[in-house]
Every structure is written in C-alpha cells, then in structure tokens.
Amino acid sequence: TGYITYDPGFVNTGSTSSAITYIDGDAGILRYRGYPIEQLAEHSSFIEVSYLLIYGELPTATQLEEFTQKINRHTLLHEDLKRFFDGFPRDAHPMPVLSSAVSALSTFYQDSLNPFDEPNVELSTVRLLAKVPTLAAYAYKKSIGQPFLYPDNSLGLVENFLRMTFGLPAEPYEIDPEVAKALDLLFILHADHEQNCSTSTVRLVGSSEANLFASISAGIMALFGPLHGGANSAVLEMLDGIKASGGNVSEFVNRVKNKEKGVRLMGFGHRVYKNYDPRAKIIKATADRILNKLGVNDELLDIAKTLEETALSDDYFVERKLYPNVDFYTGLIYRALGFPTKYFTVLFALGRLPGWIAHWREMINDPATKIGRPRQIYTGEKQRDYSPISER
C-alpha cells in the first residue's frame, strides 16, 4: 500500500527525532546534550556523562552524589546469577556471555517487565549501570578460571570494575589512577553516538514494548559485529597480522585497495563522519600519553601510525573520505591496560550503556513512537501452485 522508499542500510532514513546527541559528520563535530565531546573528555567523568545523557542536564553535586550512591547499592549480583556463568565453555567469547547475562536480568527482576512503569524503569536504569560492569568482570574471570570478586562499593564505578577484573581475593589490588583515568575517558568517548546500529537495535526492540534489559541485550549483540563495536578487536588482529608478515604496511594497504574479499582497513571509515572522527583525535593523543606513562613500548602503535599516514595520503581513502574512527587506536590502549583482544568489545559495551539507556527512555516516552516495522520490495516468485513431492 502506498509508496515505499528503498533505502538499504537506512542511509537516508531518519527513524526518529532525538535530543540526545548531535553529530556533524562533515565538520567532525560530536556533542552530548549540546556539550562538545572535547570539553566532556577534558573535564567530566563517565558517571557524570551517564547522568547527562540519561537525564538531559549535568548533575548538581547533590544529584551526582545521590546517583553514585544509588548505583553503588546495586552492584551485587544475585548469587544464583553467578552460577549462570558455569553454563558457558571456558573459551566462550565474552560478548554473547554478557548479552545473555543482561537478558537473564529480566528473569531476576520481573518487576521490570512493564516499560511504562516509571519507578521501575528508573530502577532498571540503576540496576544496569551498576550490574553490567560486575557481569563484564565475571565474564572475564570465568574465561581465565579465576574466582569472582564481590564489588567494593567504597570505590568508583571504573575503579570497582578494574578491581573485579584484575584483582584477586588473596591479595590487595592497587588501582593505578592513570589506568582508571584512561578507562574513564574511553568510556566517556563511547557513551553515545545517536542512531548507530546497536542503538537503533535497542530502539527497535524497545518499540515492541520489550523491557530495558531485553532491548539492551539485543543492542550488545548488534555491537558484537566487526563492522560495529567488534572493529576494536579486529583492528588489533589486523595490526598483529601486519607485524607477523614483516610490518609491510603498503602491501596491506594495496590488498585493501584491491578489495580483496574480507580485507578492509579496520578502524577506518564511518557512515556519518566524512572527516576525522573527533573521538579518534582524542584517543590518538591518549594512546601516546598512556603508553608513555605506563612505560609500554608497543611496536603495533608505530605500525598503526604508519598505516594511518599511508592511508590518509592515498587517493583511494582520500576520494572516499575515509578517516580513522573511534576504534582505530582504542585497542592499543586496552592492550596496554592489560585487557586481552577478545575482551575489547565488552569495554565498548560498558561505555555505550548509558547511551542505549538514554535512547530507550527517550523512545518509550516519545508520543510519536510506533512499533518499528520497515517495509520491503518483494523480488520473489509470482503466485504458483503447490506440486506433490513425487512430482518435483
């Protein structure tokens, strides 16, 4: 019925109006609730940015204190949920484990099922912000066979996550403030990016009036793919591959330009940015600083820089306006902080969580929201008659 616009990948389709994040892709501008990402990166904290994205304004000191305390009260997992991790193989990828665990929250908190019950949406918001870092740390502990640590609620969100990830029950864990600061900054830079694949997934699932946990579990799986959040792991694998083959950057760039099947310059290109990704700019500077401070000398950083330089001066990339995106340098920092490659996308999920929550809440409260239900152009058979199996 009526006229259907054909737009694969939704390149030109506005699926919603939104007041959360502004991007000008040609100018390389990113703002959360009007605040430039550069200012937030320099002055704010991940918890404050989470508040800003979800509630629309920067918190007062009292509001921030209350928000932090509420989150701290909910960091523990139900003891039965801890056993959930035993059902997965030791070498399981942590992204599906995390998504399943978030999905399971719906079974522990059945008070969350009505998406219009505002006090419970508030509770689910706090539960997610508090428990997802615990779930993420346990997915890691499970993969290396170490015991789970209970959260220590005297610590900040990022510090608590670091301790649960890298600490051991038998010895005190000293949090390196440089490490905590770097991770906090990376979380700020990942916190929202308007209608990307995972956020659109969260909104689409939520438009059926599925609850916050169900919608975010789906968003985590959308983020898993290598063209989206999975790119941060894929970049490291690409850099490792270049190193293993003798560090020949131009040879690799030629393979990309020849469009060899499955070979892309990972961490490059973006649907919206046709200019340097402002997040990548900050991350590149941070990678230098952090690796220096931690005394890490990583050959892969040099390979990444040469790769960037080679690409940015090559017609193939210039003509297509392909620049480094957020994922190009993050992996090098995560690696320097001690995270295994397989785990990088989980860190992206932790950072993106407040953005997903903010979008789900905006969607559910928007009177213009209808169930997401795209149309199609049918290209199959015309009507034909059923034939008995003996005649086929």
How near is the Cβ of 75 to ligand CMC at its closest, in Å?
27
Which is nearer to ligand CMC, 321 or 375 (by Cβ)? 321
Residues that bind ligand CMC (CB under 6 A): 9, 196, 227-229, 231, 256, 264-271, 320, 322, 325-327
Which is nearer to ligand CMC, 78 or 228 (by Cβ)? 228
Which is nearer to ligand CMC, 99 or 134 (by Cβ)? 99
Catalytic residue selected from 327, 359, 366, 385: 327
How near is the Cβ of 303 to ligand CMC at its closest, in Å?
16
Q: Which of 277, 312, 63, 86 is nearest to 189 (CA)?
A: 277
How near is the Cβ of 272 to ligand CMC at its closest, in Å?
8
How near is the Cβ of 69 to ligand CMC at its closest, in Å?
32
Q: Are 57 and 33 in contact (CB under 8 A)?
A: yes
Helices (H), the chain: 37-43, 46-55, 61-73, 79-83, 94-108, 118-144, 157-166, 177-190, 197-206, 212-224, 231-244, 249-257, 278-293, 299-312, 315-319, 327-337, 344-365
DSSP letter assigned to residue 168? B
C-alpha–C-alpha distance, residues 36 and 262, integer Å: 35
Which is nearer to ligand CMC, 127 or 190 (by Cβ)? 190
How near is the Cβ of 385 to ligand CMC at its closest, in Å?
41
Q: Which amino acid is at 242?
A: I
Catalytic residue selected from 184, 270, 277, 359: 270
How near is the Cβ of 98 to ligand CMC at its closest, in Å?
16
Between vectors from CA 160 to CA 336 and to CA 119, what angle results, nearest 5°? 130
Q: Active-site residue 327, yes or no?
A: yes
**List of residues 6+ apart from 335 with CB closer than 8 A:** 236, 298, 300, 341
Q: How far apart are the first and last CA of the chain?
A: 35
Buried b (16+ CB within 10 A) or exposed e, 249-267: beebbeebeeeeeeebbbb
How near is the Cβ of 230 to ligand CMC at its closest, in Å?
8
Which is nearer to ligand CMC, 59 or 225 (by Cβ)? 225
Which is nearer to ligand CMC, 104 or 136 (by Cβ)? 136
**List of residues 6+ apart from 239 with CB closer than 8 A:** 300, 303, 304, 307, 331, 332
Per-position DSSP letters for 31-65, written without gaps between them: EETTEEHHHHHHH--HHHHHHHHHHSSPPPHHHHH
The enclosing H or E element of 30 equals: strand 29-32
Which is nearer to ligand CMC, 130 or 234 (by Cβ)? 234
Q: Quickly count: other Cβ atoms within 10 Å of residue 338's Cβ.
A: 13
Could you give phi then psi for residue 45, rounded to 5 degrees? Answer: -135, 165
How near is the Cβ of 247 to ligand CMC at its closest, in Å?
19
Which is nearer to ligand CMC, 98 or 104 (by Cβ)? 98
Could you give phi then psi for residue 31, rounded to 5 degrees? Answer: -135, 135
Q: Quickly count: other Cβ atoms within 10 Å of residue 240's Cβ.
A: 14
Between vectors from CA 45 to CA 362 and to CA 180, what angle results, nearest 5°? 125
Q: Which residue is nearest to ligand CMC (CB)?
A: 269
Catalytic residues: 270, 327
